[in-house]
Structure 1
Amino acid sequence: MTGRVAVVTGAGGGIGREIAVGLARRGVHVAASDVRPGPAEETARLVRALGVDASAHAVDVSDPEAVAALPDAVLAAHGACHVLVNNAGVTSAGSFEKETLEDIRWIVDINLWGVVHGCHAFLPVLRRQDEAHIVNMASMVGLLGLPHNAVYALTKGAVRSFSEALRGELVGTAIGLTTVFPGAHRTGITETARGSQRALLAEMGRSRLAPALMRSPTKLAEQVVRAVEKDRARVVGGIDARALDAWARLAPGRTGPLGRITGRADR
């Protein structure tokens, strides 16, 4: 890993920042990308403090032209790119019937198209490397679609299927691909949530119970870095994500009991 270069989207905080720092601890130079310039610069500063190079890039992953320009900016700053981490994401919660089409397009543009834009823009660069790797951030709802998270599940389920197919296409190349399925982590994602349960999500993220309900992303980031090193197909992060993974295998499609529980908050 030492001397390699990684691009991390959504690197301004949460899981993205922890992955950037975890890679830097392995000697990886980091291009920190985020829609917010200030947090991207702060992550770059944290990375430089670990003795490697870092650059900050203000990029909206839902904008195809902005993402298409990012590889050249990274090559200008670092001369290469070996690892792409498509981490940027947002969330939504509540009844699908109460979602607006505007909010649905917003989450699809970031969570799904952001991953597609990143892979499409960087694959030509990654193919020129002796070794390269892609990390696509899904969610535990990509393992089992949770009721009252239908739009979020739409995007993360699509990321899962896309990533599995792309990993298969890349067999025989020097490019690996890992799909990550995090459970509930403290990332700040609840603050920008949309949907009829957005206020409940934001309150949960700020509550005193948050440390018990949501784990620190540090351990997950370490799992992701090891997955890059070992070319693992997937990372399932957290006991809640592992429980949903088991449920999906043992009782596929049976989400009715979960719907009765989550529906109470939407009445």
Structure 2
Amino acid sequence: MRRLLDRVAVVTGAGSGIGRATSVLLARHGLDLALVDLRPEGLEETAALVRAAGRTATTHLADVADADRMAELPAEVLDAHGACHVLVNNAGVTAAGRFDAEAIDDLDWIVGINVWGVVHGCRAFLPVLRRMDEAHIVNLSSMVGLLGLPQNASYSLTKGAVRSFSEALRAELVSTSIGVTVVLPGAIRTNIMFGARGAEADRLARMGASRLAPLALRPPEAVARRIVRAIEKNQARVVVGPDARAVDLVARVLPGRSGLVGRLLDRLAPANGPTGAEPAARH
């Protein structure tokens, strides 16, 4: 986008983590924010930070997996702000553990938020974005969208879908004034670690609460900076963090070799016993 000042951005999952960091940084670049999340407490905290940066913030409670609720949001945003130029589909959840230990309900949950949440956001706001002189969509994937990793099968399923969908959508909109970016972060220090499901969810939460977490996990602000730059430069794909770049390299040089990681994990813990490896944290 050529200009960010006095534009309007919608950010889902804005109550914490990458969503909050991105909202605040966009405000510092001169955008007003429509903040979307399922929990009101985090939303109000983010809104206060946006207002402290000198910009307008409105809060909108919504479950991104709810198609009807998401369809209502554009009218609310237009009523409050009069426009929408940037859409950041950030809301996401994760699961940790072996695929055959996951409940079908948990699979429905993660697909509903991580995949359908992105689809609902794009479907709802595209008609509005098309009316703007320029606009941009940012969809949050993950490094496991580049290479499916064991003990992350359901998360890899959803984030791979977001990556492919974003690439296809960018190609469809290439002749319009709407840019599309897919963001692929590595391990990031956010609350997603504490709301995970799956057989290894407790281990993931302990990892997030450990003293080493601040050293092992990158801050959400690192992703926010890359998101804002991608909007300004209309970048198609953004890979964030040394771990994500390493996975990207492996996916390019040794495609389909995630089995190597699987063998390592099986040596650390048998497939029919408790796993001994720490699953990676996401956004």
What's the TM-score, normalizing by structure 1?
0.98
Residue 90, structure 1, aligned to residue 93, structure 2: yes
CA distance in 1 between counterparts of 2:88 and 2:162 reads 13
Q: CA deviation at 1:38?
A: 1.4
Q: Is the 8 A contact 1:31 1:55 kept in 2?
A: yes
Cα offsets for 1:30-76 (capped at 9, x unmatched): 01110101111111111011111110111100000111001111111
CA distance in 1 between counterparts of 2:54 and 2:241 reads 30
Match of 2:140 in 1: 137
CA distance in 2 between counterparts of 1:260 and 1:212 reads 27
1:10 equivalent among 8, 13, 22: 13
Cα offsets for 1:149-193 (capped at 9, x unmatched): 000000000000000000000011000000000000111101000
User: Aligned letter for 2:264?
Assistant: I
Secondary structure, in 3 states, of the residue corresponding to 2:97?
coil
Match of 1:224 in 2: 227
Match of 1:193 in 2: 196
**Where does structure 2 lack aligned partners over 5 or more consecutive residues?**
276-283
**Where does structure 1 lack aligned partners over 5 or more consecutive residues?**
none
Secondary structure, in 3 states, of the residue corresponding to 1:236?
strand
Q: CA deviation at 1:219?
A: 1.7
User: Aligned letter for 1:160?
Assistant: R
Secondary structure, in 3 states, of the residue corresponding to 1:57?
strand
Q: Is the 8 A contact 1:94 1:196 kept in 2?
A: yes
Alignment RMSD (CA, Å): 0.8
Secondary structure, in 3 states, of the residue corresponding to 1:260?
helix
CA distance in 2 between counterparts of 1:259 and 1:66 reads 39
User: Aligned letter for 1:199?
Assistant: D
Secondary structure, in 3 states, of the residue corresponding to 1:94?
coil
Match of 2:281 in 1: none
Residue 234, structure 1, aligned to residue 237, structure 2: yes
Match of 2:186 in 1: 183
Match of 2:257 in 1: 254
Q: Is the 8 A contact 1:91 1:190 kept in 2?
A: yes
Q: CA deviation at 1:23?
A: 0.4
Task: Report sequence identity in percent.
Answer: 63
CA distance in 2 between counterparts of 1:127 and 1:262 reads 47
CA distance in 1 between counterparts of 2:58 and 2:265 reads 42
Q: CA deviation at 1:261?
A: 3.1
Q: CA deviation at 1:212?
A: 1.4
1:1-267 matches, cutoff 5 A: 1-263=4-266, 264=268, 266-267=274-275
Which piece of structure 1 moves more, 256-265 or 25-34? 256-265
Secondary structure, in 3 states, of the residue corresponding to 2:255?
coil
User: Aligned letter for 1:124?
Assistant: P
User: Aligned letter for 1:225?
Assistant: V
What's the TM-score, normalizing by structure 2?
0.93
CA distance in 1 between counterparts of 2:11 and 2:69 reads 15
Q: Is the 8 A contact 1:41 1:55 kept in 2?
A: no
Q: CA deviation at 1:260?
A: 2.5
Q: CA deviation at 1:16?
A: 0.5
